[in-house]
Amino acid sequence: YRLFPGEPKWKKNTLTYRVKKYTPSLSHAEVDKAVEMGLKAWSAAAPLNFVKTTSGEADIMISFENGDHGDSYPFDGPRGTLAHAFAPGEGLGGDTHFDNAEKWTMGMNGFNLFTVAAHEFGHALGLAHSADPSALMYPTYKYQHPFGFHLPKDDVKGIQALYGSRLTGSRAPQVPHLPVPKPPAPTIPDHCDSSFSFDAVTMLGKELLFFKDRLFWRRETQLKASVQPLSIRGSFPQLMSNVDAAYEVPNRGVAYFFKGPHYWTTHGFQFLGPPRTIADFGFPRNVLHIDAAVHLKDEKKTLFFVGDEYYSFDEVKRKMENDFPKSIEDEFSGINGRIDAAVEVNGFIYFFSGPKAYKYDREKEDVVHIVKSGSWVGC
Amino acid sequence: APALFALSQTSSWRDFYTAQEYLDKYYTPQEGHHVGEITSGDSMTKKVQQMQAFFGLRVTGKLDYSTMDVIKRPRCGVPDIAN
């Protein structure tokens, strides 16, 4: 890592930031999310806090600019220079500008805003470019996956040289031989608790998987004995925790796992490539994450549940069907409220909403049975 | 003419100007150059070497293929040599 000449740094630990101008290629919410995650990458490694403001001056003013925008560093249109930021200081100090001519995205296509924002905020906090190709502060663009992102070692050393480490809060750099604290073992939620709910449920081969926080349960469709929870990190390291939705397409032997605006494809427990953006499925731009998904084997269609609406995706044509979204309540009588998870077993759809699991009979077009969600894992 | 040393057999004049713009932007201390000052050719070669050293490329001073490949990648607008 390298610092700027004179090692400029902020003399305070709590900094304000404000997005002054947005880009048309992303919604305000998406820009805000990417900026927030970009700043969090640094506050996770150093005693820094960032407070969002919506008016007046802030330490870090963020804007999307075109061409020559008055700071003697004109942008150059698509590609080339993507963004720049100024070292800590008054006025322009800390300010971060993105080239509005770029295709900013939340996924892997175009230029991922989180990736570039996290890099530029390194400059805004006092880091210059690093010659370490694995560093976030390396000058050329390389996609970084926002979820579960951790600063590479080189950048941690750099930011801690300026602000100390978050654990000690002192300027002294962290002594590398300190044992790295292992993440605490996941607390096991009480699946018999009356308020217990799942994050996601899916078939995978001959098994059913139930996800909750950092854990998941796997069981045969015929429940023989009580099942023990496993750590998601142990089997699905890329997923880490808090899966939003999951489903399997058995005749293709692939499964999909959703988290925020991204999804992963697996063959069994084997990941097939890096995460992609859910925009691949053809959701409208305002859909940033999905609540639940269920694959209907005979129809070869997948239903996606978002809020109080649902979409239908044709797995053969790999296309979202027209005339969607539709209201969940209108189409599935007896199912109301947010859907946490859904799965098709033996031709019935099981909807998990909060502590209840509803067995829905499509022929009768009605709920025919209701149980506690936790009963699926032996409660 | 001395600047031609930086031009390797395989690069084109377009590459040369692209590289020159890149090096002016990212490897020229701002206070070092004023409008109208003529840069000596060997300073171009020196900058190429600086950039190759920074990116861990073979330091040849020439705009060879791997150097041009890095020059053409999308990147951050902050100069690599701090000023």
Rounded to an integer, the average pLDDT of A73-92 is 92
**What is the least distance, in Å, from the CA of B41 to any CA of chain A?**
24
Which pairing describes strands A104-105 and A207-212: parallel, antiparallel, or unpaired?
unpaired
Query: In sequence order, what DSSP letters do the residues of B1-26 get, joined into one string?
Result: -GGGGG--TT--HHHHHHHHHHHHHH
Q: How confident is the model at residue B5 (pLDDT cuts 50, 70, 90)?
A: low
Residue A133 in contact with partner chain B when CB distance is under 8 A: yes
In this model, does residue A221 exceed pLDDT 60? yes
Q: Is the pLDDT at A293 greater than 80, yes or no?
A: yes
Give the ipTM of the model, two decimals please.
Answer: 0.80
Tell me the average pLDDT across A25-40.
94
User: Using 50, 70 and 90 to split pLDDT, how confident is the model at A195?
Assistant: confident
Indicate if A120 belongs to the active site: yes
pLDDT digits (tens, 9 = 90+) for A177-188: 444 455 555 566
Residue B11's pLDDT is 61
Q: Is A113 on the interface with B (CB under 8 A)?
A: no
For residue B35, pLDDT beyond 50: no
Residues of chain B found within 8 Å of residue A133, distances taken between Cβ atoms: 56
* Residue A58 exposed, middle or buried by CB count within 10 Å (0-12, 13-18, 19+): buried
CA–CA dist A235, A230 (Å, integer): 8
CB atoms within 10 A of CB A347: 11
- Out of A46-60, A250-264, A303-317, least confident range: A250-264
pLDDT of residue B3: 54
Where residue A67 falls among pLDDT bands split at 50, 70, 90? very high
Backbone angles phi, psi at A24, to 5 degrees: -70, -15
